[in-house]
Amino acid sequence: MKKCGTLIALSLTAAALTSCTVPGTMPKDSAASASETASLPSPTLDGDTPAPDTASESAPLDLESVVQRVQAQYPGEIGIAISDGTQETTGGSTEAVPAWSTSKVPLAIVALRNDPQQASAVSAAITQSDNASAEQLWASLGDPASAAQAVAQVLSEGGVNATVQSQVVRPGFSSFGQTLLSPAEEARFAARLSCLAGAESVLGHMKNVAGDQSYGLGTLPDAAFKGGWGPTPDGGYEARQLGTVQADGGRVAIALWVRPEAGDYGTAQQALTALASELKPLLAQATPIANGCA
């Protein structure tokens, strides 16, 4: 470093002397200089280890790989969705398909709101998936158009805007069970379910589903879920589930749907259980329900 200490330098004016900056000092400058200095990163001292960037290092939830692994065991169509109540992560099919008996969840909620005396029918419709009890709940809401509107209102409260089927479109099956919902819509509804007025007792029943229906989501920790299943018009078979399960970070909302090539209920059950098994070690990566009502 050059020094400002020669005889020639001593003869300079005081103004010239002020131009020499002493090493290690900072000039007293404007607010702009101060802000620039403040924005500089702090040095890492010897022996210090920078904290890891957990946000960038966390692995994304890969549901497509889950779908592919299960399809290798059970060929066919599969859809998965996980929701925190505000956004959904999906894998496989995103098609809107018949809700089947998962539609009994919003139906049970609105039927209880309308008439608390329907509690026994609600219990049977959810825990046993009893169709006669579900039809009783539907009839308690008035004519088919009024009933469909009432169920659609509950779906809307759960973040799903869907047209509930008011008329029988497939003989032998309920009208409301043919309401078309995607896995993402069912996952979103499941995530918001605990926030809905009158849903508490329905959620309680969803934690006590009959043993012969406790496959799939029913194999996961503290599951509150409802399933639905039925034949497709082309001779196949499909099954689906919606619900919430317990994970380390909180409750996670999940919807599953399968349409196996084998075309039977037993294979559909096995495929749903395989999906749940593949999802279980990934639950810690899933974003838990964000609405605080779970």
The torsion defined by the Cα of 179, 278, 54 and 51, in degrees rounded to 10, comes to 160
Q: Note the pLDDT tens digit of each residue in 249-278.
A: 899 999 999 999 999 999 999 999 999 999
- Domain contains 55: no
Task: Give the number of other CB atoms < 10 A from CB of residue 240.
Answer: 27
Split into its structural domains, the chain has a count of 1
CATH for 194:
3.40.710.10
- Domain contains 108: yes
Q: Note the pLDDT tens digit of each residue in 140-174.
A: 999 999 999 999 999 999 999 999 999 999 999 99
- Domain contains 3: no
Name the residue with tokens 């509930």.
164
- Domain contains 159: yes
**Using CA atoms, how far apart are residues 106 and 209, in angstroms rounded to an integer?**
16
Model pLDDT, residue 293: 61
Percent of the chain predicted with pLDDT > 90? 77
- Domain contains 207: yes
- Domain contains 235: yes
pTM of the full predicted structure? 0.80
Contact 105, 206 (CB under 8 A): yes
On the question of pLDDT at 28 being above 50, the answer is no
34: left (phi over 0), alpha (psi -120 to 50) or beta: alpha
Residues 6+ apart with CB under 8 A from 259: 76, 77, 78, 97, 232, 236, 237, 238, 268
- Domain contains 253: yes
Q: What is the extent of the structural domain holding 115?
A: 61-285
- Domain contains 161: yes
